[in-house]
């Protein structure tokens, strides 16, 4: 508890102090103590901020957008980065500069492929889909949330002419899969980088909801930090986690975080999220992955789909 109070105090920057260099520098010198992140995804919060800083550094050397239309951009990007190395790393040897240039170029090329990967850019043949479906076990599930695809959705995925599944009457307000028309369908998600060094494509099946909410961002901090609100029929007005945070937590955690231990994982069970502290907002510092048997929101989680739609964001 010794470091929590100074941390919070240094972070309380009102409208004036937020624009004061001494105050902000002071805040930057106080690391978040474990108490502040206890029980949450401290590793994910810290990991994603480091990834973001590294990406900003690399993109500050060479702008990925300038190479977006180039096929196989790595050699060009690498040559350009290397040209800047004497200024970026004046005290390093040529050998060290080449190593650093390789890392910077890899980050840039990964970002180029992420930005150019427009939805639906790639179409899959039925035999590619069949192969992936067959490799996904007897009852294929979304690799992110563990949702087991319906037989009908599987048929559609494999090119049979059947109707879309009816959307459910009830949806989970924390992870509202089933509100959108394509939420329940089977889609293909690129997991591996397509970028540097010709990494192998890693493909997984995901539900339409997870796929849609995953593809626009790559790190927790890419998604807008403000929270939408929902007028819950019994709890009242509550903050809603950004769907990308939910997807990021589910895909990284993959298993139920029930305190006393639970062996459920997305390979066999559908997962969702809840706040850790029930009165707190479900933000990335207060979010946990749970199965339906250990759900602190049980009984209040499902709301009628129409209610969800009409009471969001009021």
Sign of CA dihedral 61, 65, 66, 68: positive
**Closest distance between Zn ion and the C-beta of residue 304, in Å?**
21
- Contacts (CB under 5 A) with Zn ion, residues 152-171: none
User: Rounded CA gap, 120 and 187, in Å?
Assistant: 10
Site string for Zn ion, 59-98 (x = CB under 5 A): ----------------------------------------
**Is residue 292 near Zn ion by the rule CB under 5 A?**
no
- Report, in Å, the least distance between residue 157 CB and Zn ion: 14
How far apart CA 70 and CA 93 sit, in angstroms, is 30
By CB under 5 A, name the one of 61, 104, 142, 240 that touches Zn ion: 142
Binding marks (x or -) toward Zn ion, 178..217, rule CB under 5 A?
-----------------------------x--x-------
269 to 21, 67, 121, 142, 263: CA distances (angstroms): 50, 42, 31, 10, 10
Q: Rg of the chain over CA atoms, in angstroms?
A: 22
Contact residue for Zn ion among 106, 253, 264, 286 (CB under 5 A): 264
Six-digit token string for 29: 């010198």
Among 262, 281, 304, 312, indicate the residue that binds Zn ion (CB under 5 A). 262
Helix (H, G, I), strand (E, B) or coil at 299: coil
Q: Do residues 180 and 168 touch, judged by C-beta distance below 8 A?
A: no
d(CA 23, CA 213): 36
Q: Of 258, 265, 305, 312, which lies in the binding site for Zn ion, with binding defined by CB under 5 A?
A: 258
Q: How far is the CB of 198 from Zn ion (least distance, A)?
A: 29
What residue ranges bind Zn ion (CB under 5 A)? 142, 144-145, 147, 207, 210, 256, 258, 262, 264, 291, 294
């Amino acid at each position: 508890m010794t470091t929590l109070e100074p941390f919070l105090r240094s972070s309380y920057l009102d409208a004036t102090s937020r624009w004061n260099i001494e105050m902000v520098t002071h805040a930057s010198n106080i690391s978040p103590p474990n108490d502040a992140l206890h029980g949450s995804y401290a590793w994910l919060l810290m990991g994603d901020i480091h990834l973001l800083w590294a990406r900003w550094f690399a993109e500050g050397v060479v702008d990925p957008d300038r190479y977006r239309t180039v096929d196989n951009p790595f050699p060009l990007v690498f040559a350009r980065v290397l040209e800047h190395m004497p200024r970026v790393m004046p005290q390093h040897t040529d050998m060290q500069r080449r190593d650093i240039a390789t890392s910077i170029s890899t980050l840039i090329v990964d970002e180029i492929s992420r930005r150019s990967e427009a939805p639906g850019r790639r179409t899959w043949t039925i035999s590619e889909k069949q192969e992936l479906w067959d490799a996904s076990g007897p009852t294929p599930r979304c690799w992110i949330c563990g949702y087991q695809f319906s037989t009908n959705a599987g048929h559609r995925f494999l090119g049979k002419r059947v109707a879309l599944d009816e959307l459910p009457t009830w949806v989970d307000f924390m992870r509202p899969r089933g509100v959108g028309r394509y939420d329940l369908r089977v889609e293909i998600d690129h997991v591996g980088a397509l970028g540097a060094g010709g990494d192998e494509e890693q493909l997984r099946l995901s539900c339409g909801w997870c796929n849609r909410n995953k593809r626009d961002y790559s790190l927790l901090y890419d998604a807008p930090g403000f929270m939408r609100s929902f007028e819950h029929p019994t709890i009242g007005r509550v903050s809603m986690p950004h769907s990308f945070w939910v997807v990021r937590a589910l895909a990284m955690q993959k298993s139920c975080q029930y305190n006393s231990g639970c062996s459920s994982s997305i390979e066999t069970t559908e997962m969702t999220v809840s706040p850790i502290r029930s009165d707190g907002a479900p933000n990335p510092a207060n979010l946990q992955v749970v199965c339906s048997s250990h759900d602190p929101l049980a009984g209040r989680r499902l709301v009628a789909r129409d209610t969800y739609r009409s009471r969001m964001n009021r």
